[in-house]
Structure 1
Amino acid sequence: MARPDRSFLKRLASRSAGGTVDLRTAVGGVELVAPVMTASGTAGHGAELGAFQDLSALGAVVVKSLSAEPWAGNPAPRVHETASGMINSVGLQNPGVEAWCRDELPELLDAGATVVASIWGRTIDEYRRAAQMLAGVNGVLALEVNVSCPNLEDRRKMFAHSCDSAAAVVDATRVAGLPLWAKLSPNVTDVTEIAAAVQEAGADAVTLANTVMGMVIDTQTRRPVLGGGGGGMSGPGIRPVNVRAVYETRIACPDLPIIGVGGVAKAEHAVEYLLAGASAVQVGTASFADPAACTAVVDDLRRWCAQHGITSTAELTNGAHR
């Protein structure tokens, strides 16, 4: 591949900064008013953040992962702060699709949110059931399929760690008849192989990437700080890992829409993902410190673009490959 053109931003910066910045983008069959959305699992079931910001101004609200049936999650403690962000082992606790549709979704729609439902399962059939339950549900515009879950039918290996398993999940969830975003794991040798497999299976986009597996041990108690033992690391420390995943996937899958996630807290972080090849980003861990973090990133991105003479954020996507 040709050497990246390092003068790309300089050429854009030379343009006039006059006029408004067009933040609109499209990801995997979904039109977004801005390239910034919430990350699943970091905003409750979505409506909670409406007390701090206008949800209709965000690209989308990606809700906490839902399963076909209610799930209790892991034992406490579930969250622990680290020097580079946080580590969690919540265990995908959720009320189940039926209860969420009845109790949570209406409030999100009343707030004007663009709603993307994240789903998970322990077997391929559980994924299929969750997707089928969301088929035709008014206001759900896409499914983010969280394949970073243990596969009970294959020695509890994560679906996201196998091309065949990840592809089978995506194929099963096509029953929903909705755009599918496959959320992949960075904990693999080559994420581009998994991305290509889910694209072939019917994924309309990929979200790169989920948390990095880790563990923190309390030196006083000599036990893991999380009730579930290990957990997923998120926040600033994983951004370089996930930016690389986006960059390499863009090269391997040039036509596959990508959403970047991991350590986004300000405009420059979002721009980094866009330049690497993403069309949009998600804000996650930053929302724990500031519930209005998503809106702050949207506003900051608009200012950054204006200052650099960029009239549309679409100009940034793939910039590091030019």
Structure 2
Amino acid sequence: MKSMATQPKPAEDDELLFDMSVSFCGIKLKNPVLAASGTFGYGVEFEDIVTIEKLGGFVSKGLSREPMPGNPPPRLWETAAGMLNAIGLQNIGAKAFVEEKLPLLRKLKNVPVFCNVYGTCNEDYEETIRILNDGEGITAYELNVSCPNTQHGGMTFGADPTLLAEVVTVAKKAATRPLIVKLSPNVTSIPQMAKIAQDAGADAISLVNTFVGMAIDVETRKPRISNIVAGLSGPAIKPIALRMVYEAAKTVTIPVIGIGGISTAEDIVEFMLAGATAVEVGTANFWDPCASERLVDQLEKWCLEHRVQKISELTGGMLLS
């Protein structure tokens, strides 16, 4: 592996040369660990229990043009090695986020804030981004074209090549900040959709969002989730997500952010070796609100133990023979 030192280094050199930072789209992160959208609220909710400044950054809940109430309960169900959720993108709306949450987030020092953007039509995405453009302290946008838990929008765009190209083009024209497109795994070809997003103007892509699944209570014979179908996340999806990140990274030249079942430092390293520049930690935040912070510490320890002195060199470093 190109990032491994070939000769032992004196202990005093480790601190001097050790570099956990990564960069993409002109954005420098202190480390590659981001808290994923929908699992970290608007950031401020975690301020009392997580040292947010230790993270590479975080992605907000999906923000829409107008407030959304989300789906009725039950909306969560624990599965073997994972979780089903159908929250339905409940959020306060882009305007309220800019007016109420951003002023609080600006108190955090050196914490990149990525805003996840959702819409039911091209005009919704465009207008939501224009509202957020006025917000001070936003680092980049993550275009949500992959949520399976809404009746309109979301995955509808991410599963159709023509619609995906159109919405990314519209969003890119409206955006005054880098645009990351979050892809759906519920497609025939991830490489095709990654290439379409890149060609339409995406500055980076993130993947994967949740897989469509469901659960039934055999005693009542009713769905476990009121929406019937829901998004499956957690460690159960990691091998598939890892494969998709690898396929996407081989196809595009823009940066890739890996998502899907990350719960250990080794998981992060796997995604980076497969081609990811950074990662997002999602479901792990539900069973341990401090998971993202813990993973930063574990990743630093892993790199020191394996004498990886520049973590960015792990990206795409998988050996094939």
Tell me the TM-score normalized by structure 2. Answer: 0.93
Residue 278 of structure 1 deviates from its aligned partner by: 0.2
**Do the aligned partners of 1:266 and 1:296 also contact (CA within 8 Å) in 2?**
no
Residue 105 of structure 1 deviates from its aligned partner by: 1.6
> Within the alignment, does 1:265 sit opposite 2:260 as a pair?
no
> Within the alignment, does 1:145 sit opposite 2:131 as a pair?
no
Q: Identify the residue that residue 4 of structure 1 maps to in structure 2.
A: none
**Do the aligned partners of 2:147 and 2:184 also contact (CA within 8 Å) in 1?**
no
Matched residue of 2:177: which SS?
Answer: coil
Pair 1:321–1:169, CA change in 2 (3 A)? farther
Pair 1:173–1:116, CA change in 2 (3 A)? same
Gaps of 5+ in 1: 1-7
- Give the distance between the partners of 1:78 and 1:153, measured in 2 at CA: 18
- Give the distance between the partners of 1:318 and 1:230, measured in 2 at CA: 35
Matches within 5 A, 1:1-322: 8=1, 11-12=4-5, 15-16=8-9, 18-20=13-15, 21-112=18-109, 113-149=111-147, 158-174=156-172, 175-253=174-252, 255-320=253-318
Residue 256 of structure 1 deviates from its aligned partner by: 1.5
Residue 200 of structure 1 deviates from its aligned partner by: 0.8
TM-superposition CA deviations, 1:276-306 (whole Å, max 9, x none): 0000001111111111111111110000001
Deviates more, 1:25-34 or 1:281-290: 25-34
Matched residue of 2:196: which SS?
Answer: helix
- Root-mean-square deviation over aligned CA pairs: 1.9
Deviates more, 1:135-144 or 1:8-17: 8-17
**Do the aligned partners of 1:13 and 1:308 also contact (CA within 8 Å) in 2?**
no
Gaps of 5+ in 2: none
Residue 136 of structure 1 deviates from its aligned partner by: 3.5
TM-superposition CA deviations, 1:201-230 (whole Å, max 9, x none): 110100011001100111111111011111
- Give the distance between the partners of 1:12 and 1:244, measured in 2 at CA: 27
- Give the distance between the partners of 1:104 and 1:263, measured in 2 at CA: 28
The AA in structure 2 aligned to 1:115 is V
**Do the aligned partners of 2:70 and 2:89 also contact (CA within 8 Å) in 1?**
yes
Tell me the TM-score normalized by structure 1. Answer: 0.92
TM-superposition CA deviations, 1:130-157 (whole Å, max 9, x none): 1111114210010000001479889x96
TM-superposition CA deviations, 1:1-47 (whole Å, max 9, x none): xxxxxxx2795475537413311111233211110010000011211
The AA in structure 1 aligned to 2:236 is G
Matched residue of 2:83: which SS?
Answer: strand
Deviates more, 1:270-279 or 1:45-54: 45-54
TM-superposition CA deviations, 1:62-117 (whole Å, max 9, x none): 00000010111111011111112100000000010011111112222212331110
**Do the aligned partners of 2:3 and 2:309 also contact (CA within 8 Å) in 1?**
no
Matched residue of 1:207: which SS?
Answer: strand
- Give the distance between the partners of 2:166 and 2:129, measured in 1 at CA: 13
**Do the aligned partners of 2:81 and 2:234 also contact (CA within 8 Å) in 1?**
yes
Matched residue of 1:51: which SS?
Answer: coil
- Give the distance between the partners of 1:260 and 1:91, measured in 2 at CA: 22
Matched residue of 2:142: which SS?
Answer: strand
The AA in structure 2 aligned to 1:158 is T
Identity within the alignment, %: 41
TM-superposition CA deviations, 1:239-263 (whole Å, max 9, x none): 111101110111111x210000111
**Do the aligned partners of 1:37 and 1:60 also contact (CA within 8 Å) in 2?**
yes
Pair 1:168–1:15, CA change in 2 (3 A)? farther
- Give the distance between the partners of 1:212 and 1:314, measured in 2 at CA: 29
Matched residue of 2:73: which SS?
Answer: coil
How many pairs are equivalent? 313
**Do the aligned partners of 2:4 and 2:307 also contact (CA within 8 Å) in 1?**
no
The AA in structure 1 aligned to 2:94 is V
